[in-house]
Amino acid sequence: MKKVLAIALTTIFVLSLATVVYAAPDNTRQWESYEVDAGIMDLKEGYESDWESFYHVVKNPDEDERYGSLVELLADHTGYGKAELLAKSEAELKDVAHEAGLAYYKTEVEGLTDQIWAAQVEAEPGEAGMLSQEFEAAYGDTYAGQVDEKDDLFADQWGFVDAAVDAGYTPVRGEDYVGNYFHIDQHAMTTDGTLKRFIDISSPFDGSYLHEDFEVTGEADVQEAFEMTNIEAGEEVEVVWHELF
């Protein structure tokens, strides 16, 4: 038998590419740009940015140091107004940065993994094969921003609360929030054939990462269980939320 399961889960925010553009010290209009590995973005910063890419002039920008466009960055760091900058081409915007002696970064936000759990069993003629899967998953995507932990106005959402000093931010959920999790129990076997497993799963909340690319021919028997709970379900929906469907 042959069966494939693929599940799309949450997005993890990663600063994979940052292009730095420097202006030459004279009027030759020469530019230098290169890519740098910026590492993993803090989860709260990722949700606050809400952009696939953004511009900044410092390597690790705070929320008010990130810009959705080069126009917005230049309007804040040069003497040009936003309306005047909007009328310029990309090359002319670079000239503005050049005149100001301004170096800037453009960072692209990408997913760390493809969020896939796939399995396939193909038995040879006359042989036995089996793939059994039981899973439960939920993806509540209503982000409420930073909230007061005692505030009940975000019942079906989740957000961050400021934890203790130097402890960062902790995700909290409302009582009607469906949760953000993926759990699976799987048993794959064949007495003679081909068994394939491909797993590419990550959690943006704690940075955990699981990757497997597995293939075996002949006799194989694999039993496994996996649990990733990013945010638990709210108290009011933990048991009965699935009755809505």
Distance CA 49, CA 54 (A): 8
SS3 per residue for 46-59: HHHHCCCEEEECCC
Are the beta carbons of 132 and 49 closer than 8 angstroms?
no
User: Residue 9: what pLDDT?
Assistant: 38
* Residue 244, number of CB atoms within 10 A of its CB: 7
| Res 2: pLDDT | 34
Compute how many other C-beta atoms are within 10 angstroms of the C-beta atom of residue 245. Answer: 4
The two structure tokens encoding residue 85 = 């900058």
Closest-CA residue to 154 (of 143, 138, 141, 165): 143
Q: What residues does 193 pair with on adjacent strands? A: 123, 218
The structural domains of the chain, with segments of one domain joined by +, span: 14-110, 116-244
Full pLDDT tens readout for the chain, 245 residues: 333 333 333 333 444 344 455 555 555 566 667 777 666 677 777 777 777 788 999 887 877 888 989 999 999 999 899 999 999 998 888 889 888 888 888 888 777 788 899 999 999 999 999 999 998 999 988 888 888 766 666 888 998 887 665 566 888 888 889 899 999 999 999 999 999 999 999 888 888 889 999 999 999 999 999 999 999 998 888 665 556 55
Structure pTM?
0.69
CB 181 within 8 A of CB 137: yes
